[in-house]
Amino acid sequence: MNLQEKIRTLLREQSEEMAEIKPPIFFRRRVTPNEMDKDFRHSVVHIINHFRKYRNLFNFNDYGVDKFKRAVIIVLIDEYSDILSDSDDVPYNETYDFLYNHYESEMEDEYNELVNDLQENINESTFFRRRSDIEKIKDLLPFFVNDVFYDSENFEEFKYKLTLIALEYYLSSNHDLSWEDLPEQEEIEFINTLSEVLNDTIKELYNTKI
């Protein structure tokens, strides 16, 4: 190996050492590598399930891998909220940087796999997502409570019907679309998703009537 090659090798090794972020002592003393890997898998599954559940409500491709990775690490750090609150001098930023660096390539692989898996569903679910303003639909809910409440046998039926009537009113008022113009199966799936997003608000409205 000549001198130039030795210099390149040395610089590459130094660069790799600088890129490697070691876990803070505070964190290393409290969490084993096996525990950390297990918690990471749990965090990834949590975020993936969130994307799958609400895929009709946002453009997944616009969300991006960086936001996906940050979301995973935030959920992962939340797993350690108890131990990180044990001290007044918590190395939160150092812990975040370490976990992000340690799992970055795995998170990118998970994201790419999820994008490929959901692409067809995303493309098929754009009809309502492109035409719906969730906050404005939410604001419409109180106007239909009385009509829906007395025509529902339980909360789940109330939740579905209230979301349905608010959504169809919004589409009719803002896009001149009647229920005959809507893709039926996609509407059912979108209402199920949207009603879960609005669940807390709908629950409050339901409780005012019981």
The whole-number pLDDT of residue 13 equals 55
Q: Are residues 79 and 59 in the same domain?
A: yes
Q: What is the pLDDT of residues 189-210, one digit of tens each?
A: 889 888 888 988 999 999 998 7
Residue 138's H or E segment, with its range, is helix 134-140
Q: Are residues 68 and 84 in the same domain?
A: yes
Q: Are residues 167 and 113 in the same domain?
A: no
Q: Are residues 19 and 36 in the same domain?
A: yes
Which band of pLDDT confidence, cut at 50, 70 and 90, is reported for residue 172? very high
DSSP structure string for 161-210: HHHHHHHHHHHHHHH---GGGS-HHHHHHHHHHHHHHTHHHHHHHHHTT-
Domain that holds residue 47: 3-124
Q: Are residues 143 and 160 in the same domain?
A: yes
The whole-number pLDDT of residue 15 equals 47
Q: What is the pLDDT of residues 94-128, one digit of tens each?
A: 888 999 999 999 999 998 888 777 655 544 456 78
The whole-number pLDDT of residue 51 equals 76
Which tops the pLDDT comparison, 113 or 12? 113
- Kindly state the tokens that stand for 126: 């754009």
The whole-number pLDDT of residue 44 equals 92
Which tops the pLDDT comparison, 62 or 192? 192
Which tops the pLDDT comparison, 93 or 11? 93
Give residues with Cβ within 8 angstroms of 106, minimum separation 6: 40, 44
Would you say the C-alpha torsion 80, 82, 86, 89 has a positive or negative sign?
Answer: positive
Count structural domains, the chain: 2
Q: Are residues 32 and 89 in the same domain?
A: yes
Domain boundary among 59, 94, 124: 124
Q: Are residues 28 and 103 in the same domain?
A: yes
pLDDT of 5 over the 80 cut: no
